[in-house]
Amino acid sequence: MNTGAVEKIANAVLYEGYLLYPYRSSAIKNQQRFNFGVLYPRGYGEASEMKTECLAMGGDEAAIEVKIRFLQLVDREGRQEGVERSITLPATSLGELSNRPLRRADVELSASGSKLTLVVRNPLEGSPTMSRDEALLKSMVSVHSILQITGGEFVSLLDPPEQLKSAAAACENVGTWPVLAGESGQRNTMLSSPIILYDYPEVAPESPGDLFDGAEIDEILALRVLTLTDEEKLEVKNGDDRARRILERTEMLPPEHFQKLHGALRGLR
């Protein structure tokens, strides 16, 4: 699957809220984090599955390929760190999916007419007595899906053509929402995200790298990182590897890059 066009925004979704400024594990906001797109273990009492429905046009020969990405949290020296995981469903024609759903490791992909349905479930068992930290260690975190079609095209659910508005409105999405992704105007890729996005989302090109905020306030966060005390920086360096990379990258940014972060004008005619 070629996901180059959506790689940046998909990674932003994967790590949205993963760590927050000041990027220290001792900070309360990083000890009691709010994670997006969490599928908890069954029996815990929270959502353990999500469902994506969208419209795929192209007839029985059109082929659908799916990649589901998420983080698995692991305990490392008393802190939770994320390990990237993925599940890939091979290219399967809409005709085949209409006759028999494709099932792999608690993932199910099916089609009915032009409607495509993807269900992702956490296969692990839990209990109502588990603590939240225990449940998170058995959860799928930041779950999102990249769907690609060959020999057909997807339909925008945000702005469907008039003749497909009723069909688009009938799509039921639970815990996630699919939007067109990639280059503007292309209709071969859908990103189903637990974060509300618009069609063809993108990370600002001025962004120097992940700050786990969707690149919305890069300048403010970069400047604040530079104000950390030596003691705080030492804790960041000795903590999560991704936080350490943020610190190292920010300290090496040249002055001219901070000027780019200050703002950009686009779309003027």
Domain boundaries, the chain: 23-33+204-262, 35-193
Q: pTM, whole model, 2 decimals?
A: 0.79
Nearest-angstrom CA–CA distance, 158 and 123: 31
Measured CA to CA in angstroms, residue 28 lies from 23, 33, 60, 61, 130 at distances of 11, 8, 52, 52, 21
Partner residues linked to 67 by β-bridges? 88, 146
Nearest-angstrom CA–CA distance, 160 and 176: 18
Question: CB neighbours (10 Å) of residue 124?
Answer: 18
User: Rounded to 10 degrees, what is the CA torsion of 34, 40, 44, 49?
Assistant: 120
Contact 82, 18 (CB under 8 A): yes
Query: Count of alpha carbons within 13 Å of 230, Cβ hemisphere only?
Result: 0
Measured CA to CA in angstroms, residue 4 lies from 88, 100, 107, 155, 206 at distances of 16, 30, 24, 21, 18
pLDDT of residue 225: 72
For 214, left (φ over 0), alpha (ψ -120 to 50), or beta?
left
pLDDT of residue 29: 64
Partner residues linked to 125 by β-bridges? 42
User: Rounded to 10 degrees, what is the CA torsion of 236, 238, 241, 244?
Assistant: 40
pLDDT of residue 212: 55
* The two structure tokens encoding residue 84: 């990237």
pLDDT of residue 213: 56
Q: Please provide the DSSP assignment of 131-155 as one string.
A: -HHHHHTTSBEEEEEEEEEESSEE-
* Start-end of H helices in the chain: 7-14, 28-31, 94-99, 132-136, 165-169, 218-226, 230-237, 241-251, 255-261
Nearest-angstrom CA–CA distance, 159 and 172: 16
**How confident is the chain (269 residues) per 10-residue block, as mean pLDDT?**
67 74 64 79 96 95 95 83 91 95 92 96 95 92 95 96 96 96 93 93 63 55 73 79 76 64 53
Helix (H) or strand (E) holding 178: strand 177-180
